[in-house]
Amino acid sequence: TIDAKAQYRAADDTLKVTATSVLLSSGAIKGSGLMLVGYGPLTRRTVKGRTWWEATVKYAGGNPGSVTVSGVEGSTTAPTTVR
């Protein structure tokens, strides 16, 4: 299961996306990652045993309204919240 959250900041036209993946975090599949559809790969982070993926898109071109994150286990679409 992929879970994603997205925030858009109008003041500096920045989109920030964070996501988790049960399958990828478990280590069952090595070498795979998550993609932010239309923007590129998310970067994997691990701190104190917690793993997540994130991407920051500067000059996003406005609030996309929603984002889609995809990976080996499928995809999910999340609405953006505006800050």
- The pLDDT tens digits for 6-49 are 999 999 999 999 999 987 776 666 667 899 999 999 999 989 98
User: What radius of gyration do the chain's Cα atoms show?
Assistant: 13
pLDDT value at position 59? 96
Q: How far apart are CA 1 and CA 34, in angstroms?
A: 12
Instruction: Give CA–CA dist 20/22, Å, rounded.
Output: 7
8 A C-beta contact, residue 2 and residue 76? yes
More confident residue, 74 or 27: 74
Residue 21 DSSP code: E
Alpha-carbon gap, residue 81 to 5, rounded angstroms = 8
